[in-house]
Chains A and B, each alone.
Chain A
Amino acid sequence: MPIAPIDGGSLPLLSPQSLRGIEEQQSFTTPSVGTPKEVVSFGDVFAEMVASANQQGHASQAKAVALAEGRSDDIHGTMIEIQKAGIEMRLVGNIKNKVVDAFYEIWRMNI
């Protein structure tokens, strides 16, 4: 399977575009007064991620059922889909843990 060479100058982490993206994110988390920006709440983003993980889980389940019922012979596709669902679920879980940790950090704060 030929893989086209990847242009070193346009690596996603190093490209000026992505750096601009980070700057925008930073300025977004600390919005200056008087410049109304489109506010995307963490809850929305997180809900989207959970929905995506859920969808991946359903996709892998559908594939596994199709394989078990003999409607499909895509063994590796099913296994890969299950692995994807696992990784995505673990990512959502990790983020959830981090947020809950942050919440308790604030909860325990002495006032």
Chain B
Amino acid sequence: MLGVFSAMDIAASGLSAQRLRMNTIASNLSNAQTTRTEEGGAYKRVDPVFEAVALKKMQALTASEQSVSLVHVREVVQDKRPGRVVFEPGHPDANTQGYVEYPNVNIVEEMVNMITASRAYEAGVSSVESAKGMANAALQIGKG
């Protein structure tokens, strides 16, 4: 039953990837004001890196099915852009000149990414539903 469910497996990998992306966005938004981290300094925003992985690991696929790919999250990388520097002499993490480095998180950018991630997730769910609909339609052949 491998060929029938390939579309579902591919869509599932996309859903997992978008869910992880949503996790990074939540992390970035939650830490938008974080000035302390274990490595020292302000929080740096993180981004997932996606990678296409061919579906060939499953056997009994035709040549055309081997050319489609799952998506895997290769790694989660830190954004190296410099953070916002604000003059706040009373802040405990202010430097000697009274400046505090805030994370390089742009709330608007994260909101846009969040909308993209949730729409991509919905698209993945739609493709699962469509694949299921096709299989069910095939099972209706000969009825009636």
Contacts and interface: CB of A to CB of B under 8 A. Distances in A.
A pairs with B: yes
Contacts of A2: 52, 69
Interface residues of A, number: 26
B50 A80 contact: no
Given A2-B52, A10-B63, A87 B132 contact: yes
Interface of A: 1-7, 10-12, 15, 18, 52, 56, 74, 76-77, 80, 83-84, 87-88, 90-91, 94, 98
B71 to A, nearest CB: 4
A33 B65 CA distance: 38
B5 interface: yes
Contacts of A84: 1, 5, 8
Contact of B67 (A6, A15, A91): A6
Interface of B: 1, 3-5, 8, 10-17, 19, 50, 52, 62-65, 67-69, 71, 124-125, 128, 132, 135-136, 139, 142
Contact of A77 (B10, B12, B62, B68): B12
A3 B16 CA distance: 17
B45 to A, nearest CB: 23
29 contacts: A1-B10, A1-B17, A1-B71, A2-B69, A3-B68, A4-B69, A6-B67, A6-B68, A7-B64, A10-B62, A11-B64, A12-B62, A12-B65, A52-B1, A56-B1, A74-B16, A76-B125, A76-B128, A80-B11, A80-B128, A84-B1, A84-B8, A87-B136, A87-B139, A88-B1, A90-B136, A90-B139, A94-B139, A98-B142
